[in-house]
């Protein structure tokens, strides 16, 4: 099962507007351009995972831009801007079962989707080692990697 089933949708993994650029409509402009590209490509819609209080785009911002949701796995929620009556993206669940596969200790699950991941993974690995905790890194390099071991949306 997949962590998030968004087949046929353009899935945006990361969107970041920072500093002086915030509040000027650039985020909405990006979403509109992605929606235009997805429509031209014959896709079902544009999808993102949202969560409050971390580095993901906030739900209210996506709602303001025409996104909706039919599922959630707190604190995460898949949101979609649909172009037709296609099914909405959803989480598969089974996250507890997937979590148990990691075993005891600290497992850092990472991918190269964000420029801040390397530093964060390195700090977590060093902290685990300093505390004498068995620490391992799982690299997610493909969509299939995400579908199988990921214990979180």
Read off the pTM: 0.74
Domain that holds residue 11: 4-91
β-strand partners of 73: 76
pLDDT tens-digit readout, 79-124: 899 998 877 777 766 777 777 777 788 888 887 777 777 888 889 9
Mean pLDDT of 16-26: 89
pLDDT at position 153, please?
67
If asked whether residues 113 and 71 sit together in one domain, one would say no
> Are 20 and 64 in the same domain?
yes
Half-sphere CA count of 80, side-chain side, radius 13 A: 27
Same domain, 32 and 80: yes
**pLDDT at residue 70 above 50?**
yes
Instruction: Compute the mean pLDDT over every residue in the chain, rounded to the nearest whole number.
Output: 83
Same domain, residue pair 24 and 63: yes
Residue 153 lies in a domain: no
Query: Do both 68 and 31 map to the same domain?
Result: yes
Q: How far apart are CA 146 and CA 148, in angstroms?
A: 6
Residues found in the chain? 153
pLDDT the model gives residue 62: 93
Same domain, 102 and 139: yes
| pLDDT at residue 132 in the model | 94
Q: How confident is the model at residue 46 (pLDDT cuts 50, 70, 90)?
A: very high
101 lies in the same domain as 86: no
87 plus 102 within the same structural domain: no
Helix (H) or strand (E) holding 5: strand 4-5
Contacts of 71 (CB under 8 A, 6+ apart): 77, 78, 88, 89, 90, 91
| pLDDT for the residue 43 | 93
**Which has the higher per-residue pLDDT, 53 or 37?**
37
The answer, yes or no, to whether residue 2 has pLDDT greater than 50, is: no
Paired with 50 in beta bridges are 77
- What's the domain count of the chain? 2
34 and 100 within one domain: no
Together in a domain, 106 and 125: yes
């Amino acid at each position: 099962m997949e962590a998030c089933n968004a087949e046929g949708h353009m899935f945006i993994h990361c969107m970041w507007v920072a500093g002086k650029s915030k509040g000027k409509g650039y985020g909405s402009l990006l979403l509109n351009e992605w929606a235009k590209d997805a429509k031209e490509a014959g896709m079902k819609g544009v999808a993102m995972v949202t969560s409050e209080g971390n580095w993901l785009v906030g739900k209210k911002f996506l709602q303001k831009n025409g996104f909706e949701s039919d599922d959630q796995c707190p604190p995460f929620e898949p949101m979609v801007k649909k172009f037709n009556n296609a099914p909405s993206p959803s989480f598969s669940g089974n996250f507890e079962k997937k979590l148990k596969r990691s075993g005891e200790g600290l497992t850092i699950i990472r991918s190269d989707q964000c420029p801040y991941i390397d530093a964060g993974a390195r700090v977590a690995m060093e902290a685990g080692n300093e505390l004498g905790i068995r620490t391992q890194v799982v690299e997610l390099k493909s969509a299939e990697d995400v579908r199988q071991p990921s214990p979180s949306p």
